[in-house]
Amino acid sequence: MKKCHLSLDLTCELSYDTSDPLAVTLVLDSGGARPVRWIFCPQLLADGLVSRAGEGDVVLWPLLDSEGERSSFCLRVREGDRMAIFEIPTEPIGQWLARTWTMAPRGTELEGVDWNQLVQLAE
């Protein structure tokens, strides 16, 4: 397997929609010709800001700065034999995540789900 190491700055875009309260969407290189979209649970993002979280295709873990503070975190995404690791500043992501919880507080995400409709869709 060939490995390629490349370091560059990318724009990323996070979005959250209360109609799908168990998902955040991260678009990497959002202004580029071939943006990459990943969808995962907001709790995974929150957990990854403070400790290693996730397994499989999406794994996150915090990085400490010279003062021992969590100033950024790593996001590893993988599909098949392709993998990329991104370093992302913690503060703006933490603030953004806090705003999503004002829209759907933790523990209440499923209160508005129409389970009958979902069952009908599944049948």
Q: In what order do the strands lie in the sheet with 82-89?
A: 53-55, 58-64, 70-79, 82-89
Please tell me whether the overall predicted TM-score, pTM, comes out greater than 0.85 for this model. Answer: no
Average pLDDT over the chain reads: 83
Cα–Cα distance, 53 to 94 (Å, whole number) = 15
12-106 topology per CATH: Transcriptional Co-activator pc4; Chain A (2.30.31)
Q: Which residue bears the tokens 């990854």? A: 48
Q: List C-alpha distances in Å: 110 to 19, 36, 43.
A: 10, 28, 14
Cα–Cα distance, 28 to 34 (Å, whole number) = 9
pLDDT value at 106 more than 80: no
For the chain, the straight-line distance linking the first and the last C-alpha, in angstroms and rounded, comes to 43
pLDDT score, position 30: 74
pLDDT value at 15 more than 70: yes
Q: Which residue bears the tokens 């209360």? A: 18
